[in-house]
Amino acid sequence: MHSLRELQAAFACAILEQDSSGIDGSVCGGNGRERLSVYAGNVYHNLREALRAVYPVVDKLVGERFFDYAANRYIHDHPSQSGDIQRFGYTFPTFLEHFPPAASLAYLRDTATLEWLVHEAFHAADHTPFALSLLSSLASARCATLRFELHPACRLFESAFPVLKIWEVNQPDAMSDEGVNLDAGGDRLLVRRVGFAVDIQALSAAEFSMLQALHDGQSVEDAYDRALRCDPAFALGEFIERRILDSTIVGFDL
Are 131 and 190 found together in one domain? Answer: yes
10 belongs to a structural domain: yes
86 belongs to a structural domain: yes
CB atoms within 10 A of CB 162: 21
Are 138 and 96 found together in one domain? Answer: no
The parent domain of residue 165 ranges over: 117-254
97 belongs to a structural domain: yes
147 belongs to a structural domain: yes
H helices of 144-219, in order, are: 163-169, 205-215
Are 35 and 60 found together in one domain? Answer: yes
Are 32 and 144 found together in one domain? Answer: no
Are 137 and 52 found together in one domain? Answer: no
What is the structure's pLDDT at 40?
A: 80
The CATH number of whichever domain residue 144 belongs to comes to 3.90.930
Q: What is the distance between the alpha carbons of residues 69 and 100, in angstroms, rounded to a whole number?
A: 12
112 belongs to a structural domain: no
191: left (phi over 0), alpha (psi -120 to 50) or beta: beta
What is the structure's pLDDT at 112?
A: 99
Domain closes at, from 105, 129, 147: 105
Residue type present at position 101: P
Are 69 and 129 found together in one domain? Answer: no
118 closest CA partner among 172, 67, 162, 55: 55
111 belongs to a structural domain: no
What is the structure's pLDDT at 144?
A: 77
Are 52 and 149 found together in one domain? Answer: no
Residue ranges of the chain with per-residue pLDDT less than 70: 1-2, 4, 6-8, 10-11, 13-14, 18-32, 137-141
Domain closes at, from 55, 82, 105: 105
Are 129 and 23 found together in one domain? Answer: no
At 193, give phi and psi (nearest 5°).
Answer: -90, 130
The per-residue pLDDT for range 119-156, each reduced to its tens digit, is 999 999 999 877 777 777 665 657 778 899 999 999 99
Task: Count structural domains, the chain.
Answer: 2
Are 227 and 155 found together in one domain? Answer: yes
Are 53 and 160 found together in one domain? Answer: no
CB atoms within 10 A of CB 207: 21
110 belongs to a structural domain: no
- 174 membership: H or E segment, kind and range: none
pTM: 0.89
250 belongs to a structural domain: yes
Are 89 and 10 found together in one domain? Answer: yes
What is the structure's pLDDT at 22?
A: 58
What is the structure's pLDDT at 145?
A: 85
Are 228 and 197 found together in one domain? Answer: yes
Domain closes at, from 77, 105, 133: 105
